[in-house]
Amino acid sequence: MRPLTSPALLLAAAAALYSSTTLAAFPDCINGPLSENSICDSSLPPAERVAGLLSVLNITEKIANVNNAAPGSERLGLPPYEWWNEALHGVANSPGVHFAEPGEEFDSATSFPQPILIGAAFDDDLVYEIAKTVSTEARAFSNAGRAGLDFWTPDINPFKDPRWGRGQETPGEDPLHLQRYVAKLLAGLEGSHDDDDDAPYKRLVASCKHYTAYDFEALGNTTRHNFDALVPAADMTEYYMPPFKTCARDSAVGSFMCSYNSVNGMPACANSYLLQDILRDHWGWNAADQWITGDCGAVGDIWEHHGYAGDGIEAAALALKAGTDLDCGTTYLQFLPGALEAGLVEESDFDRALARLYTSLIRLGYFDDPAQQPYRQLGWADVNTDAAQELAYEAAAAGIVLIKNDNGILPLNPQTSGHIALIGPYANATTQLQGNYFGAAPYLHSPLHGAERAGFTVTYAPGTEVDTDDTSGFAAALAAAEAADIIVFAGGIDNTIEAEERDRTAIGWPGNQLELIAQLKMTTGKPVVVVVFGGGQVDSSVLLHGQDEGGGGGVDALLWAGYPGQAGGRAVFDIISGARAPAGRLPVTQYPAEYVEAVEMTYMPLAPVTDEGEEGSSKSPGRTYKWYTGEPVVEFGHGLHYTSFELAWAQDEEDEKMPTTFDTAELIAGAPDAAKPDLAPLHTFRVTVRNTGDVTSDYAVLAFVSALDSPLAQNPHKSLVAYARVRGVEGGGGGSAEADLEVNLAGLARAESGSGNLVLYPGKYVLRVDVPVQLEWQFEIVGEAVVLEEWPVAPVEEEGGRLNE
C-alpha cells in the first residue's frame, strides 16, 4: 500500500475519516430485508447462501462491491464493508480499523515487535501465540464496529536485499524459515482444523502478500509501480515462491494480495499464469471462499505505470479476468462499467469475485446469529490483557540478538555496575520502536524507561539524531559519558531511513552516529554498549573490529533489537541487566557497506554471477547467506548467549536410529500426503542441548544442509533445513533439553534451471548444526532423482504485446 499521495489513497483516507465516526455494522439477519434471503439461512450450504445474495444484487451494486470500500446495498440491508484492514504486528491503523480517542474503550491494541524481530526468535510456538492474540484483539475490535474481519497480513516476501524498506515486515531472508513461520502465523490468525474452539467459524481471514517477487520500492525512476521483476524459474521455485506455496497449498489461507510489480513481463494483478495456473490450479487454492485483492492502486498500475494495457477499461478487465477479485483503489469503480459495456467482462465475472468475497464473510459468521459464536462475544476486556502485554514483552526479549560481548561485559548488574550514560537517537524512543504498519499501543516503553525500570542510575543525553551532521548535542553527550561508569548508545535506523516507498541506497550507519560513538569510546575510555535498532542491518564492522586510526577493538558489546514494539525498552534493558538472557539469531545477513555497489537491487537471481553473462544478467556476489561469496560482517544465524551450550546427538551415533542412507523411493512413499512429496520427512534429528555455563537461557538450534556432490553446476553454501528453540535451559548445574530438528525433503530439494522443477537428487549431504558449527552428520541419498514439484510452464510472451489468451 502506498503512503497518502495517490488518488486511491486519498479516497481511502477520506473513507476512513468518514467512517471513523460511523462504526461498521453486521447485517441484520433477523429483522432486516436480508432476513428473507438465503444468505441469512445458516442451515444452508455456503454456495446456496451466497447465490441468494447474488440473485438480488443488481449490476450497479455488483460493480460497486468489488472495491475495498464496499458500499453493500442499503436497499437490501447489506451493510458497507471495508476490506482493507491491517494487523502486521497488532491491530493497525488502516481504512477499516478505527481506534477510539485516548482514554476511551478501544483506544489501543497490543503492539508486538515487527516480524523481523519475531523471526529472530526462531520460535514458531511464539509466532502462533502472537498471531492468536492479534486475532483475538482484532475480533474484539470487529465486534465493536471498529474493524473488519479480514486483515491484509502477513508480508511474506523473502528479505532478499538489505536495502528493501519493507524487509522489516518480514521474518527474514530464508525461505524455509518463512514457510514455517507463516504456517504457524496463519494457524493463529485464522484458526485451523486442529483448533476446535470455534468451529465452524474462522477467526479471521488473513492475506498473504505481496504475490510475488516483490521486494523493491523505488530506485530513481524505477518504482514498484513500473518494475518488471525478471525471475528465472529456478529462483522462483527455490526462493520467491515457497512461503506463498505454504500459504496456499498447506495453510489454505483465506486471501492473497497480488503485488504492484510485473513478473517476467506481466503485471502480477493481470497475471493469469500466477493467479490462476500457479495459485489456483497448481497449488489447489480454489476453495469457494478464497479471494485475491490487488495491492492498493495495483490494478491502475497495469496501464498507468506498466503500460501493459491500453487504458483503464482494458486494465480493469484483464485484472478481473485474471482473478483479482477485489480492487483496492478506484480502477474497478471507474472502468468496469465501460469494460462491461465493451463486452470485455460479463456479469458472471462479478459473480465469481463476489461469491468468493461473501463466502469468506459467511465462513467468518458475518451473517449468523452472534449468540452462537464465541468470537462474537469478545470485547474490550479481551484487548490489552495482562497476558497479551507479557507476550509482547516476551516476544521482544526472545528476538534480541547479542552480536558481540567482549570479555563478558554484559550483563550489567544495575546495583554494582554504577551509573549509565544513555545516549543516542533511540535512547528515549517510543513510536520509533513500532516500525511501520502499527496501531495505537497501550504504552510505548522507551529504552530510558527500561533502564530506570531495571534499576539503573541513568543520565540521558540524546547526542544526535538518526541522520544528521549536526554535532551540537555531542558536548552534552560526552559530558554525560564522562560522569558515568558505562555508556549505552541506542541508535541505528528508523522509518525515516527504511520504509514503504523508501529503500536505502546505503547500508552503513546514517548521519554522525558512528562519529559520536567513536568519540564516546576514545575520549572517555569507558566501556561502550551499542544497541542497534531497525529492520535492515547496518554495516557495523567498525563497532565489531574497530578502525585503523585508534578505534581500538570497536565497542565492548553490540545488540540488535529490530523494532521491538511497545515493550521494547524494557526488553532491551532486561537483556542488558541480565534479567533475561539473549537467544535471538540474526534472521538476515549483515553485509559490508560495499554490497550495494556490487549488485543492483532490481537484479532478482540469487546465485553469484562473476562475468557479464548472458543477456539480462549483471554481476552479483550472490544473495543471502546461501549464495553470498563475500565475507559477511555478521552471518545469518549468528547470536551469542550469556552462557555456554554444548550440543550432542540425542541418539547414539552408533545407534541405527541415526540413519546414514536414505532411498528416494522409500522417502517419497513416506509422504503423509502423496500430492505433497516435498513434505515427506527425511528424518527428525534429535539434539541434546546442554547448558554448561551459569545462566539459565533459551537456545535456538539451527540446522543447515550442504550437498557434497551435487550434479548441478551451482550450489548454495548451505540451506536452513530445520530449527527449534528450547526455552529456559537451566544454568549452573548442566541443565539440558532436547530439540527435534524435523528435516523434510523440501529442505534438500533443488530447482532445475530452466524448468524450475524441484528435484531431490541422490548424492552425499552433510547436516551441520549451529552457527558456528557444533555438530555434523553425513548421509547419502540413493536411488533415482525424483521431481518433488513439477512447475507449470510459463506462457510465452508475444512480440511486443500481451499474452495470447
Ligand X SMILES: *[C@@H]1O[C@H](CO)[C@@H](O)[C@H](O)[C@H]1NC(C)=O
Residue pointed to by grid coordinates 505433497 = 676
Q: Which stretch binds ligand X (CB under 6 A): 52-60, 621-629, 730-738, 756-764?
A: 52-60
Site string for ligand X, 178-217 (x = CB under 6 A): ----------------------------------------
Identify which of residues 204 and 448 has a Cβ nearer to ligand X in the complex: 448
CA distance 661 to 681: 14
Q: How far apart are CB 159 and ligand X at their closest, in Å? A: 26
- 51-68 b/e with 16+ CB inside 10 Å = b? ebbbebbeeebbbbbbbb
How far is C-alpha 233 from the chain's CA centre?
Answer: 23
Q: How far apart are CB 61 and ligand X at their closest, in Å? A: 5
Identify which of residues 97 and 484 has a Cβ nearer to ligand X in the complex: 484
List all residues 6 or more positions away from 540 whose beta carbon is below 8 Å from its beta carbon.
403, 509, 530, 532, 558, 590, 633, 634
Applying the rule CB under 6 A, the residues between 354 and 383 that interact with ligand X are none
Q: What angle do CA 605, 611, 615 make, to 5 degrees?
A: 60
Applying the rule CB under 6 A, the residues between 457 and 476 that interact with ligand X are 460
Q: Does 75 bind ligand X (CB under 6 A)?
A: yes
CA distance 762 to 709: 9
Q: What angle do CA 201, 202, 204 make, to 5 degrees?
A: 140
Q: Which stretch binds ligand X (CB under 6 A): 47-55, 57-65, 101-109, 261-269?
A: 57-65
Q: Which stretch binds ligand X (CB under 6 A): 58-66, 128-136, 353-361, 726-734?
A: 58-66
52 φ/ψ angles, rounded to the nearest 5 degrees? -60, -40
Residue 356, Cβ neighbours under 10 Å: how many?
Answer: 22
User: Out of 38, 61, 239, 504, which residue is the one contacting ligand X (CB under 6 A)?
Assistant: 61
Identify which of residues 76 and 117 has a Cβ nearer to ligand X in the complex: 76
Q: Does 65 bind ligand X (CB under 6 A)?
A: no
Q: How far apart are CB 433 and ligand X at their closest, in Å? A: 11
Q: How far apart are CB 517 and ligand X at their closest, in Å? A: 21
Q: How far apart are CB 304 and ligand X at their closest, in Å? A: 14
Q: How far apart are CB 531 and ligand X at their closest, in Å? A: 16
Q: How far apart are CB 73 and ligand X at their closest, in Å? A: 5
User: Out of 22, 55, 60, 692, which residue is the one contacting ligand X (CB under 6 A)?
Assistant: 60
The conformation of residue 155, written as its DSSP 8-state character, comes to B
Name which of 232, 166, 242 is nearest 620 in CA terms: 232
Identify which of residues 333 and 679 has a Cβ nearer to ligand X in the complex: 333
Identify which of residues 22 and 60 has a Cβ nearer to ligand X in the complex: 60
Q: Which residues pair with 685 in a beta bridge?
A: 741
Residue pointed to by grid coordinates 465475472 = 349
Q: Number of residues in contact with ligand X, rule: CB under 6 A?
A: 13
Identify which of residues 50 and 433 has a Cβ nearer to ligand X in the complex: 433
The conformation of residue 608, written as its DSSP 8-state character, comes to -
Is residue 510 within 8 A of residue 497, CB to CB? The reply is yes
Identify which of residues 67 and 540 has a Cβ nearer to ligand X in the complex: 67
Residue pointed to by grid coordinates 513478473 = 263
Identify which of residues 16 and 64 has a Cβ nearer to ligand X in the complex: 64
Q: How far apart are CB 559 and ligand X at their closest, in Å? A: 21
Q: How far apart are CB 784 and ligand X at their closest, in Å? A: 51
524 φ/ψ angles, rounded to the nearest 5 degrees? -100, -25
User: Out of 10, 25, 47, 59, which residue is the one contacting ligand X (CB under 6 A)?
Assistant: 59
User: Out of 67, 73, 114, 143, which residue is the one contacting ligand X (CB under 6 A)?
Assistant: 73
Q: What angle do CA 519, 521, 524 make, to 5 degrees?
A: 90
Q: How far apart are CB 307 and ligand X at their closest, in Å? A: 14
Q: How far apart are CB 222 and ligand X at their closest, in Å? A: 9
295 assigned to active site = yes
Identify which of residues 220 and 801 has a Cβ nearer to ligand X in the complex: 220
Q: How far apart are CB 667 and ligand X at their closest, in Å? A: 51
The three cell numbers of residue 45 are: 450450504
- 534-558 b/e with 16+ CB inside 10 Å = b? bbbbbbbbbbbebeeeebeebbbbb
User: Out of 31, 43, 221, 661, which residue is the one contacting ligand X (CB under 6 A)?
Assistant: 221
Name which of 382, 368, 354, 383 is nearest 26 in CA terms: 368
Identify which of residues 62 and 209 has a Cβ nearer to ligand X in the complex: 62
Q: Does 71 bind ligand X (CB under 6 A)?
A: no
| Distances, alpha carbon 310 to alpha carbons 266, 275, 374, in Å | 14, 21, 50
Instruction: Write out the DSSP string of 5-47.
Output: TSHHHHHHHHHHHHHTSS------TTTSGGGGSGGG-TTS-HH
**Selected catalytic residue, list 150, 155, 235, 295:** 295
Q: Which stretch binds ligand X (CB under 6 A): 55-63, 503-511, 579-587, 724-732?
A: 55-63
List all residues 6 or more positions away from 138 whose beta carbon is below 8 Å from its beta carbon.
85, 87, 91, 147, 151, 204
Identify which of residues 73 and 512 has a Cβ nearer to ligand X in the complex: 73
Q: How far apart are CB 410 and ligand X at their closest, in Å? A: 24
Name which of 721, 758, 670 is nearest 245 in CA terms: 758
Q: Does 220 bind ligand X (CB under 6 A)?
A: yes
The conformation of residue 386, written as its DSSP 8-state character, comes to H
| Distances, alpha carbon 256 to alpha carbons 325, 594, 605, 804, in Å | 10, 36, 24, 25
Q: Which stretch binds ligand X (CB under 6 A): 59-67, 164-172, 341-349, 778-786?
A: 59-67
SS3 annotation, 701-768: EEEEEEECCCCCCCCCCCEEEEEEEEEEECCCCCCEEEEEEEEEHHHHCEECCCCCCEEECCEEEEEE
User: Out of 22, 55, 58, 286, which residue is the one contacting ligand X (CB under 6 A)?
Assistant: 58
Site string for ligand X, 417-446 (x = CB under 6 A): -----------x-x---------------x
Identify which of residues 62 and 139 has a Cβ nearer to ligand X in the complex: 62
CA distance 305 to 303: 6
Is residue 362 within 8 A of residue 201, CB to CB? The reply is no
Identify which of residues 71 and 553 has a Cβ nearer to ligand X in the complex: 71
Q: Position 793: which residue type?
A: V
Residue pointed to by grid coordinates 485451523 = 192
- 751-767 b/e with 16+ CB inside 10 Å = b? bbeebbbbbbbbbebeb
Q: What angle do CA 496, 497, 500 make, to 5 degrees?
A: 80
Binding site for ligand X (CB under 6 A): 58-61, 73, 75, 220-221, 428, 430, 446, 448, 460
Q: List the catalytic residues.
A: 295
